[in-house]
Structure formats: C-alpha cells, structure tokens
Amino acid sequence: MRRPAGPWPFSGGRLFLTIKGMVSAVLRKITVLGMCLPLVLAAQQMKRGRKYTPPPPTCKITVTVTKATNGKPVENAGVVFHPIRNGKDDGNMELKTNEEGKAVLDVIPIGDTVRLQVIAKGFQTYGADYVLEGPTEEIQVKLNPPGRQYSIYEKHDGSQVGGQDEVTTPASQEGHSQQPH
C-alpha cells in the first residue's frame, strides 16, 4: 500500500495509523500539557479581583430605659447610638423603645466606643459613652423627671453671676456710689 501524500493520515476514506505515529501524537500532547500545567496552577494561586474581607464581629447592645422614680419602663423613648471612630462621631442610628422599655442594636463592632443618648418627653435627656468590650452589652438607663429651670435672675450657690450680690464699699470711697458687677 502506498502512503498518501500530505500531512493527513487518511486518503480516500481509509485511515492509516501506525504505532509510531500514535505514540508521537500522545507524547506531543503530554509535552504541551506539561508545559501549560505550571501556568494554569500559577494562575489559580494568583488573587485577582476584589478581595473579600469578612465584617468584624459585632456587639449586641440592649438598652433598657426605666423611670428613676418607680422603675417602670419608658415606652417610645428615642435611643440614639453615635459610633465613635478615631475620636469622631461616625453618624448615628436611632431606635425607639418597645413596651418593655428596650431597644436592641447589633451592628457596632466589638472594641468600638458608642455615645448613647436617650430622649423621652417629660424626662431629662440622658447621655454617656460606652466601650463595647464583649459580644453583648446590657445598659440600664434611669430617666429623671425634668429639673427646675435655670434662671440668671436668681442667686445660685457659689456663683458670682445672677441675683443680687451684696456690694461692700471700701472705707476710702465712702462718698462714691458703686454698682454691682
């Protein structure tokens, strides 16, 4: 039999394969795969695109707001959370207390500081800073009734401002009138 001319191993519908030809074809494929395999593995190890960083663990903060006079819960009080990052206020989140006087928030990371503010009609506003050290934080707030309104026209203990101060006249200036400061 004659071999066909050209690179094709078949001619006229007949396929001519030799063992030597099959071995060389398999060796060529193995060689190509052997050269490409390190490139494929290196590409899989390279990190491309956005790198996922999981969010930090958060603290579940439960604030219970009660009346200081009788300990009953204060419903619908505004509880404002101000996360503090790098010494600056990082926005705020406001929740209302439920019928048990509770407000729950669990989005502030553990280790952060939160400035808590509680506002309710008929009570003094409450405010304090808390460092969130663990996975849960229970905060009890007792609201006081409003205090007496401050007036500059009344005398206050230890103050030189407001009200009538007694004016002492030095002995050398007896004839001159002096006005209070």
Tell me the sheet residues that pair with 102: 64
Q: CATH code for 58-143?
A: 2.60.40.1120
Residues 39-94: pLDDT tens digits? 766 666 666 677 888 999 999 999 999 999 999 999 999 999 999 988 888 889 99
Q: Of 89, 95, 60, which is closest to residue 75 (Cα–Cα)?
A: 95
Neighbours of 130 (CB within 10 A): 18
For 165, the token pair is 């101060």
Residues 93-111: pLDDT tens digits? 999 999 999 999 999 999 9
- Taking the alpha carbons at both ends of the chain, their separation in whole angstroms is 131
**Half-sphere CA count of 168, side-chain side, radius 13 A:** 2
Whether residue 12 has pLDDT greater than 90: no
For 68, the token pair is 């200081």
Residues 115-169: pLDDT tens digits? 999 999 999 999 999 999 999 999 999 999 998 887 888 877 765 554 555 555 5
Main-chain dihedrals φ then ψ at residue 91, nearest 5 degrees: 90, -170
* Three-class DSSP category at 4: coil
CA distances from 103 to 56, 114, 120, 127, 138 (A): 22, 15, 13, 15, 10
Please give the Cα distance from 18 to 24 (Å, whole number).
Answer: 10
pTM above 0.85, yes or no: no
Q: List Cβ neighbours of 72 (8 Å cut-off, separation of 6 or more).
A: 66, 101
Q: Of 84, 29, 60, which is closest to residue 139 (Cα–Cα)?
A: 60
Q: Of 56, 57, 58, which is closest to residue 108 (Cα–Cα)?
A: 58
Tell me the sheet residues that pair with 117: 80, 127
